[in-house]
């Protein structure tokens, strides 16, 4: 999500400068690669790059291809073979053991429904969305429809597909992807030819709600925003909860604990942290969150702190459910021998990333299976009448 936000931001600046642009998207992959389908990069005619489609090895050639696309105003799919030499594709011999297909689309800044308009709407709210990118590897068909369909969980959709039957099939498949929260690939076959759809599920960014505005929260906010998370800091102390102490994008509010959650709409991609160093403030927040459906709650301090709060709240008739206790992480963070505020921030963010995105948290060298499942890259065929 951060990459998409960066591209939208760069696009706005490029518009002012009057430059021409192209959008490169990894649309499919066979084998392994540094970046997965959905990786994007905005390329200007003078060589400015925002985002990435590889670890840096493909960007130079993609820039040359993008400049040709911009000049011709015609989209094209470029195939990179990182496994062996084959005259039918560009063999770059990088040892990644994958075949990477990248769609490069010229961005028509005069078209209100261009590719970036879809990305803008995608990041405009905290909604689960599906973005569809159409492409073809058939050399006889030079028409690449590209970024052309958006659907979100609130029912909003936008499409530039002018084939009613194809749009209906894509709508059905997009609804399924949204429901299953798993991207898919479909090949639509008709008399006119074939179209492959990368139907991409895109969840909202992780939102980090931090209770406490002490000095140890400052590096936490910086690191969280560096990886594209949304951040909100709440504290009862006006001398600490000051906007200038944190990053420009961070939301900072002075609030009492009993009203701290009043303006927060909780969703499953939201993580809460108790870092006020104020026992009573933390206990009130803990009591309030115990009645909410949350995915993650981290509490700074020893496990005895949570036990004490639990015992005190039990005397008030509040008993934590097993479901609630399963999302409470106290002490907060992964065991990485963290000591400094910056190291502690890394420990906390790593644990949240693991929990929210259902990671294992193990060392990758001990993982038996592939890092990314390849089953989701299979292309299922559907025929049009």
Q: Is the pLDDT of residue 172 over 50?
A: yes
User: H or E stretch including 32?
Assistant: none
CA distances from 148 to 56, 124, 201, 303 (A): 27, 17, 14, 50
Secondary structure (DSSP) of 206-232? PEEEEE--STTHHHHHHHHHHTT-EEE
**What pLDDT score does 371 carry?**
64
CA distances from 39 to 36, 151, 196, 253 (A): 6, 19, 17, 34
Residue bearing the bigger pLDDT, 46 or 57: 46
Main-chain dihedrals φ then ψ at residue 85, nearest 5 degrees: -85, 130
**What pLDDT score does 84 carry?**
56
Q: Is the pLDDT of residue 119 over 50?
A: yes
Runs of H (alpha helix) within the chain:
2-17, 59-72, 115-122, 164-180, 217-226, 279-289, 303-314, 322-325, 341-356
Determine which of 11-20, 82-91, 200-209, 256-265 has the lowest per-residue pLDDT on average. 82-91
Q: Is the pLDDT of residue 376 over 70?
A: no
**What pLDDT score does 90 carry?**
47
Compute the mean pLDDT over every residue in the chain, rounded to the nearest whole number.
Answer: 90
**What pLDDT score does 57 carry?**
81
Summarised one tens digit per residue, pLDDT across range 224-244 is 999 999 999 999 999 999 999
**Highest mean predicted confidence (pLDDT) among 193-197, 218-222, 259-263:** 218-222
**What pLDDT score does 142 carry?**
66
Main-chain dihedrals φ then ψ at residue 205, nearest 5 degrees: -65, 155
Determine which of 123-137, 271-285, 371-385 has the lowest per-residue pLDDT on average. 371-385
Report whether 227 contacts 205 (CB < 8 A).
no
User: H or E stretch including 132?
Assistant: strand 129-135
Instruction: List all residues 6 or more positions away from 110 whose beta carbon is below 8 Å from its beta carbon.
Output: none
32/370 Cα distance (integer angstroms): 9
Give the burial class of 306: count Cβ atoms within 10 A of its Cβ; 0-12 exposed, 13-18 middle, 19 or more buried: buried
R_g (Cα) of the chain, nearest Å: 24
Residue bearing the bigger pLDDT, 125 or 247: 247
83/105 Cα distance (integer angstroms): 26
Q: Which domains does the chain have, with CATH numbers?
A: 2-202 (no CATH), 207-363 (3.40.50.720)
Q: Mapping DSSP to helix (H, G, I), strand (E, B) and coil, where does residue 22 land?
A: strand
Q: Is the pLDDT of residue 170 over 90?
A: yes
Q: Which of 329, 324, 253 is nearest to 289 (CA)?
A: 324
Q: Which two tokens stand for residue 125?
A: 């709210």
Q: Is the pLDDT of residue 80 over 70?
A: yes
**What pLDDT score does 87 carry?**
40
Q: Is the pLDDT of residue 12 over 70?
A: yes
**Position 99 confidence tier, pLDDT thresholds 50, 70, 90:** confident
Summarised one tens digit per residue, pLDDT across range 241-291 is 999 999 999 999 999 999 999 989 999 999 999 999 999 999 999 999 998
Q: Is the pLDDT of residue 59 over 90?
A: no
Q: Is the pLDDT of residue 110 over 80?
A: yes
**Position 374 confidence tier, pLDDT thresholds 50, 70, 90:** low
Q: Is the pLDDT of residue 313 over 50?
A: yes
Report whether 42 contacts 78 (CB < 8 A).
no
Q: Which of 35, 30, 29, 44 is nearest to 3 (CA)?
A: 35
Percent over 70 (pLDDT), the chain: 93
Q: Is the pLDDT of residue 31 over 90?
A: no
């Amino acid at each position: 999500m951060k990459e998409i936000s960066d591209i939208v931001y760069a696009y706005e600046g490029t518009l002012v400068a009057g430059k021409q642009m192209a959008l490169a998207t990894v649309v499919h992959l066979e084998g392994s690669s540094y970046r997965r389908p959905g990786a994007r990069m905005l390329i200007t005619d003078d060589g400015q790059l925002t985002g990435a489609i590889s670890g840096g090895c493909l960007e130079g050639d993609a820039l040359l291809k993008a400049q040709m696309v911009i000049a011709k105003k015609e989209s094209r799919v470029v195939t990179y073979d990182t496994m062996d030499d084959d005259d039918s594709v560009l063999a770059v011999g990088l040892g990644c053991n994958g075949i990477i297909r990248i769609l490069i689309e010229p961005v028509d800044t005069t078209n209100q429904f261009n590719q970036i308009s879809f990305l803008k709407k995608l990041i405009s709210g905290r909604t689960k969305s599906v973005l569809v990118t159409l492409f073809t590897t058939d050399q006889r068909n030079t028409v690449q429809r590209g970024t052309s369909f958006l659907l979100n969980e609130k029912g909003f959709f936008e499409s530039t597909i002018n084939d009613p039957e194809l749009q209906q099939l894509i709508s059905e498949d997009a609804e399924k992807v949204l429901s299953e929260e798993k991207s898919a690939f479909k090949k639509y076959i008709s008399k006119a030819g074939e179209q492959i759809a990368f139907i991409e599920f895109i969840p909202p960014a992780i939102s980090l709600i931090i209770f406490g505005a002490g000095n140890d929260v400052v590096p936490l906010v910086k690191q969280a925003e560096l990886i594209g998370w949304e951040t909100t800091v709440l504290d009862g102390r006006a001398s600490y909860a000051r906007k200038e102490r944190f990053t420009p994008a961070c939301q900072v509010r002075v609030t009492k604990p009993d009203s701290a959650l009043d303006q927060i709409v909780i969703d499953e991609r939201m993580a809460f942290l108790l870092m006020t160093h104020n026992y009573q403030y933390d206990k009130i927040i803990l009591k309030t969150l115990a009645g909410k459906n949350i995915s993650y709650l981290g509490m700074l301090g020893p496990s005895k702190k949570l036990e004490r709060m639990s015992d005190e709240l039990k005397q008030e008739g509040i008993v934590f459910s097993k479901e609630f206790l399963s999302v409470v992480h106290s002490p907060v963070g992964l065991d990485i021998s963290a000591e400094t505020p910056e190291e502690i921030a890394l420990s906390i963010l790593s644990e949240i990333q693991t929990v929210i995105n259902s990671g294992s948290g193990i060392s990758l060298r001990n993982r038996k299976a592939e890092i990314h499942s390849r089953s989701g890259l299979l292309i299922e065929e559907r025929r049009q009448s």
